[in-house]
Amino acid sequence: MTKQTYDTTSDAAALAEDLRGAIGQFVRAVRSQAGTPTTAQGETLAYLERNGSVSIATIAENRGVKHQSMRLVIATLEEAGLVTRYPDPQDGRGVLIALTALGRAEIAEERARRSHWLANAMLHALSTDEMTSLRAAIPLLRKLSDTCGTLVSTDCGEHAPASLR
For the chain, the structural domain boundaries read 35-148
pLDDT tens string 11-63: 888 898 999 999 999 999 998 888 887 789 999 999 999 999 999 999 999 99
Task: In whole angstroms, give the CA distance from residue 144 to residue 164.
Answer: 20
The pTM (predicted TM-score) of the whole model is: 0.72
Amino acid identity, residue 33?
Q
Top pLDDT among 9 and 108 is at: 108
Tally Cβ neighbours within 10 Å of residue 118: 15
- 35-148 has which CATH code? 1.10.10.10
